[in-house]
Amino acid sequence: MLKISNIETFYGNIQALRGVNVKVENGEIVALIGSNGAGKSTLLMTVSGVNKASAGEIVFNDKNIESLLPHDIVNLGISQVPEGRRIFSRLTVEDNLRLGASSNDKGIHYSKDIKDIYDLFPILKDRLGQRGGTLSGGEQQMLAIGRALMARPKMLLLDEPSLGIAPKLVNQIFVAIKNINKEKKVTIFLVEQNAKKALELADRGYVLVNGSVTLEGSGQELLKNEDIQAAYLEGGGKK
Amino acid sequence: MDLAYFLQQLINGITLGSVYGLIAIGYTMVYGIIGMINFAHGDIFMVGAFVALISFIIFALTSIALPIVLLLTLLIAMVFTACYGWTVEKLAYKPLRKSFRLAPLISALGMSIVLQNYVQAAQGARIKTLQPVIQGGFTFMEDTGFTVSLSYLQIFIVLVTIFLMAIFTILITRTALGRAQRACEQDRTMTALMGINVDRTISITFIIGSSLASVAGMMFVMYYGVIDFYIGFLAGIKAFTAAVLGGIGSIPGAMLGGLLIGLIEVFWSGYISIEYKDIAAFTVLVVVLIFFPTGFLGKPDIEKV
């Protein structure tokens, strides 16, 4: 469904991605793990068209998308929940959700889709008239995911959904992600520092180090891998 | 007599304030969406005044009824001037969008000079005059020794302003376009990730701002009957002051600021000194910004993270 081949992305003179190859099949949950600064968010932003790749290609459903603009990529069916959630804090929860529906036929499915979002995150219904900025971190994450789903994506890119969120809510959000994948048949490409949670959830995983993929395998394989256990699962760095 | 004199100033101030308010909306919308002061906006207003003038002169040769002439001129001025505003954005600001903050500002100053010289070259440097289009009005309080007059033109200006402001307020607060604009104000990258064409949203903002400025230009040429290629400078700076006074980025703020600047200028001329009327608005701005650094209706940039 999504094939990222030999992607290289620069930030000014700094090379953030050095020939990354990642494949995500229809219906999968794929996790990308790696430490801070490995280039995980850059990869998602490159897929979404916000960062332009200087080399390589990205193919989504047999269509090259590496040179498309971000809004065109959303309209093709790739939505992103970015790092730090980036909800529109001065707009209401409802406006945020309506913005999410912008790409999908001018929002004609809004009233139906919003019900699905309430089923997933009932708390959002009570918060509808509030400004996004007044929500707690966990609620903002739910809003960000709900907003992305309003576009009826075929594939959802999730960047650090557990970052800065109360542990109880992290579980709820991971359950929701699983649910989105299984019930709504949305393919998930997940970036996480919380490697254990991500790999438990994922069908397959990739490890990104300094802008290159160093390991790949099924979620279970990677969980058992000793290097990964040492580097990402037990506090890091212990041999 | 004092009350009559006061009333007259009030009427004149509200009329002038309407013109400033219409221009100020363009400053504030553009600032809101891309964070730049569009210094060419005053000259867009001037272009609007010229388009309206030319349109009036052409219609004067025909025998079309006045209300239709007014409506057609309004539409012609809005459409032509919107094209200018759109072109300025495409040529001078869009290529600099990823550049450092001052670059589009400098470009805007350049566009301001370009537009002034373009109109000077195309229309000549001499002042242009327009015969009164709408004549007559009401007079009252004649027995007090000072006759208060409220012309039909003033009523027309204020009504059209209120009407347009109401329409555009609904557009910004109730429609998908307005929602997209408010989203762009906050986070352009994220807005694009909603599937919204950010460049088009910015273009539309310039189109709306320019067409409102052109209406102000039309009012201006009808009200004063005299224009030249340089009117955009002072009117632009005053409208910009109005936008800052009301809180830059806030559309109700721009309307309020425009009204205040109009009233301040007229009352200052009426009661203090007509020679120094141009500094009145700026003096008040300085005083207000000391106590309200974000203007009257501006929002402080504090957010919960």
| 3.40.50.300, 3.90.1660.10, 3.20.20.450, 3.40.1710.10: CATH of A2-233 | 3.40.50.300
pLDDT attached to residue B164: 93
The distance of A119 to chain B (nearest Cα, Å) reads: 22
Phi and psi at A57, nearest 5°, equal: -140, 155
d(CA B47, CA B196): 31
> Residue B142 belongs to what domain range?
2-291
Q: State the average pLDDT over residues A194-200.
A: 90
Give me the CATH number covering residue B192: 1.10.3470
Q: Which residue has the higher pLDDT, B144 or B195?
A: B195
pLDDT attached to residue A236: 45
Does B176 contact A at CB distance below 8 Å?
A: yes
B-chain CB neighbours of A74 within 8 Å are: 192-195
Q: State the average pLDDT over residues B23-47.
A: 94
**Quick check: is B201 in a domain?**
yes
d(CA A162, CA A197): 9
The distance of A85 to chain B (nearest Cα, Å) reads: 10
Q: Which residue has the higher pLDDT, A233 or A222?
A: A222
Q: How many domains does chain B fold into?
A: 1
Q: Count other Cβ atoms within 10 Å, centred on residue B31.
A: 22
CA distances A107 to A98, A112, B2, B171, B201, Å, are 7, 10, 58, 17, 17
- In the stretch 191-220 of chain B, residues with CB closer than 8 A to chain A read 191-198
**Quick check: is B62 in a domain?**
yes
**Nearest residue in A to B181, CA atom:** A99
A-chain CB neighbours of B198 within 8 Å are: 71
Does residue B191 carry a pLDDT above 50? yes
CB contact under 8 A, A133 and B194: no
The distance of B166 to chain A (nearest Cα, Å) reads: 21
Does residue B301 carry a pLDDT above 80? no
Q: How is residue B302 written in tokens? A: 């504090």
Which of A47, A73, A90 would you mutate first to test chain B, the one with the most B CBs within 10 A? A90
Which one of B176, B182, B304 has the shortest CB-CB distance to A102? B176
Highest-pLDDT range among A144-148, A162-166, A224-228, B29-33: A144-148
The distance of A220 to chain B (nearest Cα, Å) reads: 32
**Quick check: is B237 in a domain?**
yes
**Quick check: is B70 in a domain?**
yes
B-chain CB neighbours of A75 within 8 Å are: 195
**What is the average pLDDT score of chain A?**
91
Q: State the average pLDDT over residues B79-88.
A: 97
Q: What is the pLDDT of residues A104-153, one digit of tens each?
A: 666 678 888 999 999 999 999 999 999 999 999 999 999 999 999 999 99
**What is the average pLDDT score of chain B?**
92
What percentage of chain A reaches a pLDDT higher than 70? 96
Q: State the average pLDDT over residues A86-95.
A: 94
A153, burial (CB in 10 Å: exposed 0-12, middle 13-18, buried 19+): buried
Does A99 contact B at CB distance below 8 Å?
A: yes
**Quick check: is B300 in a domain?**
no
Q: What is the pLDDT of residues A201-210, one digit of tens each?
A: 999 999 999 9
pLDDT attached to residue B277: 86
pLDDT band (50, 70, 90) for residue A238: very low
Q: How many CB pairs under 8 A join A and B?
A: 73
Q: What is the pLDDT of residues B201-219, one digit of tens each?
A: 999 999 999 999 999 999 9
What does the domain layout of chain A look like in residue ranges? 2-233
**Quick check: is B126 in a domain?**
yes
**Nearest residue in A to B182, CA atom:** A91
**Quick check: is B219 in a domain?**
yes
- In which element (H, E) is residue B289 found? helix B277-291
Residues B85 and B45: beta-carbon distance below 8 Å: no
The distance of B256 to chain A (nearest Cα, Å) reads: 22
Q: Packing angle between helix B102-123 and helix B66-88, nearest 10 degrees?
A: 130
Does A134 contact B at CB distance below 8 Å?
A: yes
pLDDT attached to residue A237: 43
Which one of B180, B194, B303 has the shortest CB-CB distance to A74? B194
Which one of B187, B192, B303 has the shortest CB-CB distance to A71? B192
**Nearest residue in A to B183, CA atom:** A88
pLDDT attached to residue A156: 97
Does A98 contact B at CB distance below 8 Å?
A: yes
CB contact under 8 A, A69 and B196: no
Q: Which residue has the higher pLDDT, B114 or A38?
A: B114
Q: How is residue A224 written in tokens? A: 């058992």
Does A137 contact B at CB distance below 8 Å?
A: no
**Quick check: is B158 in a domain?**
yes
